[in-house]
Chains A and B, each alone.
Chain A
Amino acid sequence: KAGVTQTPRYLIKTRGQQVTLSCSPISGHRSVSWYQQTPGQGLQFLFEYFSETQRNKGNFPGRFSGRQFSNSRSEMNVSTLELGDSALYLCASTTDYPGADTQYFGPGTRLTVL
């Protein structure tokens, strides 16, 4: 099976812009979770989608949003970018519940906000 794929791999934006990141889960996986990883904060949970519905949400402002399509592919959007949004954004997929079974991660999208 192909692993989790994320596009683009690298992105450079300026403050105030918006960005959309894409994630394709492993075939058959219906749960997709998004994480933000920074050197100072480690892995922080953004949100999780299952069957096109947001099932869990982390403590991030409303500028961070996401969605999931019927084929389980997911996108996340960050509007009005701030310098502090520079990070590695990771997507992970699993069959059902992230806490109950193995999550497999993609390579991440490195976002730099100038």
Chain B
Amino acid sequence: AQSVTQLDSHVSVSEGTPVLLRCNYSSSYSPSLFWYVQHPNKGLQLLLKYTSAATLVKGINGFEAEFKKSETSFHLTKPSAHMSDAAEYFCVVSEGVKSGNTGKLIFGQGTTLQVKP
């Protein structure tokens, strides 16, 4: 069975400082991994995805994530936080769409990012 664990439920940074949101995954095969963001009272927006191409994945709004198979991690980073980055972030693994799988997404519990002025 696949799963993701977000290691921090809440992260607080100052504006202009780096962001690190940590995610570990468990998968019996090469996973497809995603980060989604949810701003207050909004839907889920795709930030970036890893699907076995480059291990360093660049996303929108300056975010990137690195897939590390040896550490089973997929941490999300951004060099400099902006006030507008304050939101809930979800690390997600896909069941995959091959071999009869349905592609359903399995979500981590979420990390709330607070950005202080």
Whether A associates with B in a native complex is no
